[in-house]
Amino acid sequence: MSIESAVVLAAGEGIRLRPLTKYRPKPMLPVTNKPILQHVFDTLVEVGFTEIHVVVGYRSNRVQEYFGFDYEGVPLTYHLQEQQLGTGHAVLQSQEDVGGSFLVVNGDQLVSPDIVEAVVEGHSDGTQLATIGVVESEMAPQYGAVSLDGDTVTELVEKPGEGNYRLLNAGVYAFEDDMFDVISATPSVDGEQSLSAALVNAIADGEVVRGVKRKGLWRDATYPWDLLALTGEMLDRSNEQIRIAPSATIDDDAIIRGPVVVGSDAVVAPGAVVGPYSTIGRNSFIGCNAVVDNTIVDEDTRIGPNSTLVDCVTGVNTDIGAGVTIEGGNADVRIGNQIHEDTQLGAVVADRAKLSGGVSVSPGTIVGSGATVATGVSLDGVVDEGAEVVR
Q: Note the pLDDT tens digit of each residue in 138-159.
A: 777 777 788 888 888 888 887 7
Give the model's confidence band at 47: pLDDT under 50 very low, under 70 low, under 90 confident, else very high.
very high
Q: What is the Cα–Cα distance from 269 to 271, expressed in whole angstroms?
A: 6
**DSSP β-ladder status, 249-250 and 296-297:** unpaired
- Could you give the percent of the chain with pLDDT greater than 90? 69
| Count of positions (residues) in the chain | 391
Backbone torsion region of residue 163, taken as left when φ is above 0, otherwise alpha when ψ lies between -120 and 50, otherwise beta: left
Give the model's confidence band at 264: pLDDT under 50 very low, under 70 low, under 90 confident, else very high.
very high
The class (CATH top level) of 241-389 is mainly beta
Judge whether residue 131 has pLDDT over 70.
yes
The correct answer on CATH 3.20.20.70 for the domain covering 5-220 is no
pLDDT at 156: 82
What mean pLDDT comes out for the span 291-319?
97
Q: What is the Cα–Cα distance from 276 to 190, expressed in whole angstroms?
A: 44
Judge whether residue 1 has pLDDT over 60.
no
pLDDT at 188: 82
What mean pLDDT comes out for the span 274-284?
96
What mean pLDDT comes out for the span 268-286?
97
Give me the half-sphere count of Cα atoms (radius 13 Å) on the Cβ side of residue 16.
13
What mean pLDDT comes out for the span 203-208?
88
Question: Positive or negative CA dihedral for 246, 250, 251, 256?
Answer: negative
Q: Which of 44-58, 150-164, 249-263 has the lowest mean pLDDT?
A: 150-164
Beta-carbon contacts of 150 under 8 Å, excluding residues fewer than 6 positions away, are: none
What mean pLDDT comes out for the span 277-289?
97
pLDDT at 163: 64
Give the model's confidence band at 167: pLDDT under 50 very low, under 70 low, under 90 confident, else very high.
confident
Angle between helices 36-47 and 113-122 (to 10 degrees): 50
Give the model's confidence band at 160: pLDDT under 50 very low, under 70 low, under 90 confident, else very high.
low
Give the model's confidence band at 215: pLDDT under 50 very low, under 70 low, under 90 confident, else very high.
confident
Express each pLDDT in 327-345 by its tens digit. Answer: 899 999 998 888 999 999 9
pLDDT at 281: 97
246 within 8 A of 262, measured Cβ to Cβ: no
pLDDT at 83: 87
Give the model's confidence band at 191: pLDDT under 50 very low, under 70 low, under 90 confident, else very high.
confident
**What is the average pLDDT value for the chain, to the nearest integer?**
92
Give the model's confidence band at 161: pLDDT under 50 very low, under 70 low, under 90 confident, else very high.
low
HEC string of 40-58 equals HHHHHHHHCCCEEEEEECC
- Could you give the percent of the chain with pLDDT greater than 70? 98
Is residue 185 classed exposed, middle or buried when 0-12, 13-18 and 19+ CB atoms within 10 A define those classes? exposed
**DSSP β-ladder status, 354-355 and 330-335:** unpaired
Give residue limits of the domains in the chain.
5-220, 241-389
Q: What is the Cα–Cα distance from 58 to 66, expressed in whole angstroms?
A: 15
